[in-house]
Chains A and B, each alone.
Chain A
Amino acid sequence: MEKRIAVIDMKAFYAFVECVERGLNPFTTPLAVCDPTRGDGTVVMSVSPFLKEMGVPSVCRRRELPNVPGMILAQPRMSLYIKKSAEIINIVLNYVGEDDIHVYSIDEFFVNLGPYLKAYNCTAYQFVRKLQKEITSKTGLLTTAGLSYNMFMAKAALDLDGKKKPPYIAQWTKADVKNKLWKVTPLSKIWGISHGYEARLNALGIETVGQLANADKNLLKAKLGVMGEQLWEHANGIDNTDLREKYIPEDTSFSNGQVLMRDYSPEEAKLILKEMNDDLAMRLRTRGKTTRRLGVAVRYTFSEGGGFSHQVTLDYPTDDTDKIYEDLLKIYEKYVGNHKIRGVYITYSQLESNLYEQLNLFEVGHIDTTKRDMTRAIDDLKRKYGKDTILRASALLEESTAKERHNQIGGHHK
């Protein structure tokens, strides 16, 4: 059976959601999702189709927005977008099984249609149209779609064709490899080719996808490694990925970092270190891991530039907040000196499972079950009622950023 894969993407997702929530038409409303409480260097996360048509790039800075009368700057509401995204997946799950959807990002997902066409007695194209219509009628949001015989070609159909104009769907066949894909230039328009790869391919005399497809595969492999082979296959419309095969990347490290809103003294920044460690250690425990290697990185004030980054390996792995903080602080105090600080980052690596613990001859009783039970209870409370349920009293200090950061998702307003 030939595979039928669709990729569906939400048009100008965040901006569209904000328009729909306000009862406005995104095609006639100048709306940009961009936190109005932050400075003019704030990133614009999404713009309405109306602004896009005026030539505003999808991602820019607030100061680059044109001066349009009636411009609406919408404060990001990340949790609303995440909820809407789940709502859309929920609609699709009414038609296909969980294994046949691959959620690629907050506004994009792949669907494996092949197994369902007989049961629904329709073509892949009709199926996708039905999904698109239902999503629009239930959520008011607009989707764009690409449809083809594998994941890469579906994505190419979407990005290079379907996204652009109504009816917001494009179906590419094997013939379109030559007719459409091979015509594409510059190469970075293709999914999976970064500007870096584009430059390296250009250096080999390859400017269009057609040239890439007809280049010597072994040469590409020798020059660019496994990626070279992958790019050659994509250029020939080959992608044997099985959407049902689940790739679950194993956690290899956890990290957390923030740029501060003002310069901090080395003493003040200790609190930032502590607060980030509280959150990250909880994430570590939630994932059932312990860490054996800790890192601290600090960025000095902008005018001074520079900073440091150092790591240590522990004698035994741990998930104990206080123990980790103690060791992070040792690194921090050793290197911090007397600089003004603008950024703090921490990492845990060399992760191990928390299902077993190494007994330690020299620190009798380092496995403190009472404390562990208490930590577990606190974690449970935070998971159930939010991270602000139990805070250190120091969260009330002016220099604390804990509450503010708990009110953010991915660095943007919740």
Chain B
Amino acid sequence: MSDRGMKKWAPFSSLIEQATCLEEMKYQRNKIDKPILTDDQKEKINYVLQSYKKGQEVKIKFFNDGYLYYINTQIKRIDLENRRLILEHGKLDFSNIIDIDTNEFF
């Protein structure tokens, strides 16, 4: 069957603004609440940060604006005063950290 499938129902996307608006709406509605960490999870993050050695790669799972992200990076500094990590490219508040793993092969 040589059905053209969804091709024939492709919208006339003459309104680029409509597509953008729909994307934004979906982005908003798919947001999640920030996960609440258990004491064990907090303990683990604390442990990894305390035993962190300069130059180590870490994989951080963090929360931002309703979504979870992963980043592989190095920690340049732990800024206790402002309660945040200083990473290679940018800063991350402690409160947004969901999980951290180090590469233990060194």
Residues of chain A touching chain B, judged by Cβ–Cβ distance below 8 Å, are 78-79, 82-83, 85-86, 89-90, 93, 98, 102-106, 110, 151, 192, 226, 229-230, 233, 239-243, 245-247, 249, 283, 409-410
Contacts and interface: CB of A to CB of B under 8 A. Distances in A.
Contact of A85 (B8, B14, B18, B26): B18
Interface string B24-37: 11100100000000
Interface residues of B, number: 23
A409 B5 contact: no
Interface in B37-68: none
Interface in B5-26: 5-12, 14-18, 21-22, 24-26
A82 B5 contact: no
B11 A98 contact: no
B3 interface: yes
A226 B17 contact: no
Contacts of B1: 240
B9 A151 contact: yes
A131 to B, nearest CB: 17
A89 to B, nearest CB: 6
B89 interface: no
A93 B27 CA distance: 13
Contacts, number: 70
Contact of B2 (A89, A90, A226, A242): A226
A240 B3 CA distance: 7
Interface in B64-90: none
Contacts of B9: 102, 104, 110, 151, 241, 247
A81 to B, nearest CB: 9
A409 B17 contact: yes
B21 A82 contact: yes
A98 B26 contact: yes
A82 B25 CA distance: 11
B46 to A, nearest CB: 36
Contact of A106 (B4, B8, B18, B25): B18
B32 to A, nearest CB: 15
A82 B11 contact: no
Contact of B17 (A78, A103, A243, A245): A78
13 contacts: A86-B21, A86-B25, A90-B25, A93-B26, A104-B9, A105-B12, A106-B15, A233-B3, A240-B1, A243-B6, A247-B5, A249-B10, A409-B15
